[in-house]
């Protein structure tokens, strides 16, 4: 299942990445295009690119607005901007009641509720929702971050504010969603439920599209699988080679399935903790307990992560571990189970909200675990892609047995709409590819 569709780029990763960034900046500087699109696989230095592009545009004297999708993303960007460009006057446009996080207090970042108050700033950053309220201002340049997560109707509200824009995002992540049936708009080129980039490119097919070729986050054990399964036509490679990162744990004490799967993942970068096949609801108590116990065990085993950034090794504490689930109810139940185990600092979140985040080790509850059917929601490629690409060292998946059989019983049956570009890759095939790899790192758990 892991035959490469297209070969991953070869050569020195740092040189590859630098060449890609230089090409993006050259296209921006040429002024020949109204927009430039940059597709970035997980952890390929998207934020670094945004910060660099912001610096270059500001240096050439152009005022710049940056559109992010969530307040967390805005704050993360501001921290990076303040670090890289400490003298650049940067503004943050925010809602009433917002206060700058501690990391930004005392930097060149100023906060205001009205755009007028930030006219002196070279760069102004805000969420798309906040930008939608701005009147009577126009910027020569905009950077739209996480543009594949942005719905095109949100872009419609902010596009009047800029002349030209750089759109940056990860096409493999979760598509934006709507809470109502959207079929009536499906064949429209400006379908408001589609992502901003899809609509932008359908109306502006000539815009240059760049791709970042190196994932600095994913380890050598994960990049080929994630690239093949989720980015079959736009492959990328890992920034580190095999053996450049390692995960060490203290000796096992319990010698149970949890210890075994932790050791398997430490050696291979992947682990599958498999519960007996059973049909369950979203709130599968056994699976929830297994997820929480496994995360707590990772902590208890006193791990050390060694990598190119931390050659001396760094303790695997709770801030370096995350748990990914599919439903809000699962998140609440895992959090509750973690409270019982005294491991409350571990981040638990749904795939939607883990987008853009990075951890050393992740524990994932498989979206299809215990299900009787494979719906569009659970098969969505982006969901699995997000969950399988948040880690720098290892990803441990908890699932009930029988998912390959479930997939075989539910081949993709999504309607094909006329005039709608086919989205890649097929969620069914991506799921099979990931499962095939996980199957090599399987540990059975009998509760």
Residues in contact with other proteins by CB under 8 A are: 34-35, 99, 132, 152-153, 155-157, 159-160, 165, 178-182, 184-185, 188-193, 196, 199-200, 202-204, 281, 283, 329, 332-333, 335-336
Whether 142 and 164 have beta carbons less than 8 Å apart is answered as yes
Of 243, 261, 240, 259, give the one whose Cα is nearest residue 251: 259
Between 80 and 202, whose beta carbon lies closer to other proteins? Answer: 202
Least distance in angstroms from the C-beta of 165 to other proteins: 8
Between 33 and 442, whose beta carbon lies closer to other proteins? Answer: 33
Pairing of strands 246-248, 304-306: antiparallel
Between 159 and 220, whose beta carbon lies closer to other proteins? Answer: 159
Whether 327 and 282 have beta carbons less than 8 Å apart is answered as yes
Q: How far apart are CA 16 and CA 239, in angstroms?
A: 10
Q: How far apart are CA 406 and CA 417, in angstroms?
A: 26
Beta-bridge partners for 93: 112
Q: How far apart are CA 160 and CA 65, in angstroms?
A: 12
Between 347 and 443, whose beta carbon lies closer to other proteins? Answer: 347
Least distance in angstroms from the C-beta of 345 to other proteins: 13
Query: Between 257-268 and 285-300, two packed helices, what is the crossing angle to 10 degrees?
Result: 60
Alpha helices (H) in 175-222, listed in sequence order: 196-203
Between 244 and 329, whose beta carbon lies closer to other proteins? Answer: 329
Q: How far apart are CA 290 and CA 284, in angstroms?
A: 10
- For 122-182, what is the HEC assignment? CEEEEEHHHHCCCCCCCEEEEEECCCCCCEHHHHHHHHHHEEEEEEEECCCCCCCCCCCCC
**Token pair recorded at residue 228:** 């093949």
Taking the mean position of all CA atoms in its chain, how far away is CA 287?
A: 24
Coil, helix or strand at residue 218: coil
Q: Which helix (H) or strand (E) holds 49?
A: helix 46-59
Least distance in angstroms from the C-beta of 205 to other proteins: 8
Least distance in angstroms from the C-beta of 31 to other proteins: 15
Of 388, 364, 359, give the one whose Cα is nearest residue 221: 388
Between 181 and 243, whose beta carbon lies closer to other proteins? Answer: 181
Between 161 and 434, whose beta carbon lies closer to other proteins? Answer: 161
**Token pair recorded at residue 144:** 């739209």
Between 75 and 153, whose beta carbon lies closer to other proteins? Answer: 153
Least distance in angstroms from the C-beta of 125 to other proteins: 20
Least distance in angstroms from the C-beta of 206 to other proteins: 11
Between 10 and 179, whose beta carbon lies closer to other proteins? Answer: 179
Least distance in angstroms from the C-beta of 348 to other proteins: 10
Between 180 and 422, whose beta carbon lies closer to other proteins? Answer: 180
Least distance in angstroms from the C-beta of 413 to other proteins: 15
195 burial type by CB count under 10 A (0-12 exposed, 13-18 middle, 19+ buried): buried
Of 338, 341, 428, 440, give the one whose Cα is nearest residue 397: 440
Least distance in angstroms from the C-beta of 19 to other proteins: 28
Least distance in angstroms from the C-beta of 364 to other proteins: 20
């Amino acid at each position: 299942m892991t035959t490469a569709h297209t070969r991953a780029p070869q050569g020195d990763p740092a040189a590859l990445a630098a060449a890609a960034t230089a090409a993006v900046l050259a296209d921006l500087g040429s002024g020949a295009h109204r927009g430039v699109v940059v597709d970035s696989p997980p952890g390929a230095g998207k934020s670094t690119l945004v910060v660099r592009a912001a610096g270059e545009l500001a240096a050439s004297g152009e005022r710049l607005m940056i559109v992010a999708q969530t307040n967390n993303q805005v704050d993360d960007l501001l921290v990076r901007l303040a670090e890289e460009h400490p003298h650049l006057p940067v503004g943050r446009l925010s809602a009433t009641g917002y206060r700058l996080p501690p990391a930004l207090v005392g930097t060149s970042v100023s906060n205001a509720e009205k755009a007028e108050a930030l006219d002196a700033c070279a760069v102004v950053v805000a969420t798309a929702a906040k930008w939608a309220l701005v009147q009577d201002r126009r910027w020569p340049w905009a950077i739209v971050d996480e543009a594949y997560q942005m719905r095109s109707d949100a872009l419609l509200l902010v596009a009047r504010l800029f002349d030209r824009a750089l759109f940056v995002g990860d096409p493999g992540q979760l598509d934006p969603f709507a809470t109502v049936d959207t079929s009536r708009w499906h064949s429209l080129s400006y379908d408001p439920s589609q992502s901003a980039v899809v609509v932008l490119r359908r109306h502006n097919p000539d815009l240059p599209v760049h791709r970042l070729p190196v994932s600095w986050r994913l380890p050598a054990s994960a990049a080929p699988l994630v690239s093949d399964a989720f980015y079959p036509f736009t492959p990328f490679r890992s920034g580190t080679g095999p053996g450049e990162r390692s995960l060490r744990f203290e000796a096992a004490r319990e010698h149970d399935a949890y210890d075994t799967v932790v050791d398997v993942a430490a050696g291979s970068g992947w682990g599958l903790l498999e519960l007996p096949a059973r049909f369950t609801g979203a709130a599968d108590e056994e699976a929830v307990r297994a997820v929480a116990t496994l995360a707590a065990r990772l902590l208890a085993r006193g791990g050390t992560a060694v990598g190119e950034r931390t050659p001396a090794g760094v303790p695997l504490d709770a801030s370096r571990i995350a748990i990914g689930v599919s439903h809000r109810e699962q998140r609440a139940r895992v959090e509750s189970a973690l409270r019982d185990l005294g491991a409350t600092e571990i981040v638990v979140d749904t795939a939607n909200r883990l987008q853009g985040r990075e951890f050393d080790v992740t524990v994932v509850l498989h979206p299809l675990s215990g299900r009787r059917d494979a719906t569009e929601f659970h098969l969505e490629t982006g969901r699995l892609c997000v969950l399988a690409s948040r880690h720098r060292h290892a990803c441990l998946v908890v699932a009930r047995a029988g998912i390959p059989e479930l997939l075989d019983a539910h081949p993709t049956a999504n309607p094909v709409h006329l005039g709608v570009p086919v989205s890649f890759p097929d969620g069914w095939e991506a799921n099979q590819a990931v499962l095939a790899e996980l199957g090599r790192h399987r540990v059975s758990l009998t509760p």
